[in-house]
Amino acid sequence: MASVFHPGPPSGTPKYSFAQQPNTASEGARQHSFYPYTDNGGSTLGIAGADFTIIAGDTRSTSGYSINTRYCPKVFRIGGPESRIALSVVGFAADGDALKERLDTILKMYKYQHGKTMSVAACAQRLSHILYGKRFFPYYVHAILGGLDEEGKGAVYSYDPVGSYEREQCRAGGAAASLIMPFLDNQVNYKNQCIPGRGTGHELRQRVQEPLPRKDVEQLVEDAFSSAVERHIEVGDGLQMIIITSKGIEEIYKPLKKD
């Protein structure tokens, strides 16, 4: 994101904390110069299929122009071994980890207290409440939750930092969201694609959206990330994919460019 380009005092966007100058105001009281947020870059992506869900994210962690590490996962299985839910968090990594651990604990406690795993819809609403609970000191993350709904269909829920959420077919989050999302609109939801050979103007008919097979979705995710890596400096190093099906959860790791 824009972190490295705004080293000044708080302006609304998270920035790299060490880059900040102490803020010495001329009037009586000194301003707080500690800014509790930063941006660790990275990008995530969730796509729901007919009977599966893929949640993916790159594994790079950044501070300004530096790479902290080439392997820092931001996609997590949550709720213990029986659970079929994955969460991805991108933005400020410390908030992301805290959020992940809270939701993970809640899912485990739900299992102990009710003797069954939490449904993805219930988990989605609970996550919204957790985020809104810190409405006035938000978790600075874009969260994407994935799983299978009660009919066994793929479900992806995406969130803003304070808990507004929505179930969607696909969603990209983080640094390269603006690069990936239009590509998904076109390739997953067939936006701006018409049925060929029907003429022009009023004759045009939108191509109907149908659920994509798993192989195609995996390929789309890889393509989305390899193109994001080319055009965004905070995205790269590795691609981690969590694939949820009724049979279980698989995890795939693929290298990305490290430059």
Partner 1 sequence: MDCHPEVWGRPRYEIYGDYDHSHLHTSGPMQHTQQPIVTGTSVIAVKFKDGVVIAADNLASYGSLARFTDVKRLRKFNSQSVIGFGGDVSDMQYLDRTLGSLDTNENYSNSDQPLHARNLHTYLSKVMYARRSKFDPLWNAILVAGLDGEDMPFLASVDLLGTKFSSPTLATGFGAHLAVPILRRTVPDEEAVQQTTKDQAVELVKESMKVLFYRDARSLDNYSIAVITKESGVELKENEKLENQSWAFADQIRGYGTQVN
Tally of CA atoms within 13 A in the half-sphere of 103 that contains its CB: 32
Rounded to a whole number of angstroms, the minimum distance from the CB of residue 175 to partner 1 is: 16
Rounded to a whole number of angstroms, the minimum distance from the CB of residue 59 to partner 1 is: 10
Handedness of CA 152, 166, 106, 252 (dihedral sign): positive
Neighbours of 31 (CB within 10 A): 12
Q: First and final CA of the chain: distance in angstroms? A: 17
CA-to-CA distance for 195 and 191, rounded, in angstroms?
A: 12
Are 38 and 1 contacting, i.e. CB atoms less than 8 angstroms apart?
Answer: no
CA-to-CA distance for 117 and 110, rounded, in angstroms?
A: 7
Rounded to a whole number of angstroms, the minimum distance from the CB of residue 34 to partner 1 is: 6
Rounded to a whole number of angstroms, the minimum distance from the CB of residue 94 to partner 1 is: 4
Which residues have CB under 8 Å from 57's CB, separation 6+?
Answer: 42, 43, 44, 45, 73, 74, 75, 88, 90, 174, 239, 240
3-state helix, strand, coil in the chain (%, to 5): 30, 30, 45
Q: If we measure between CA atoms, which residue out of 48, 55, 72, 38 comes closest to residue 140?
A: 38
Which structure tokens are listed for 93? 């990594």
97 versus 230: smaller Cβ distance to partner 1: 97
60 versus 171: smaller Cβ distance to partner 1: 60
Rounded to a whole number of angstroms, the minimum distance from the CB of residue 9 to partner 1 is: 12
Rounded to a whole number of angstroms, the minimum distance from the CB of residue 98 to partner 1 is: 6
121 versus 162: smaller Cβ distance to partner 1: 162
17 versus 226: smaller Cβ distance to partner 1: 17
Rounded to a whole number of angstroms, the minimum distance from the CB of residue 137 to partner 1 is: 8
38 versus 83: smaller Cβ distance to partner 1: 38
61 versus 128: smaller Cβ distance to partner 1: 61
Are 161 and 190 contacting, i.e. CB atoms less than 8 angstroms apart?
Answer: no
- Binding residues for partner 1, per CB under 8 A? 17-18, 22, 28-30, 32-34, 36-38, 40, 61, 63, 66, 68-72, 92-94, 97-98, 137
72 versus 217: smaller Cβ distance to partner 1: 72
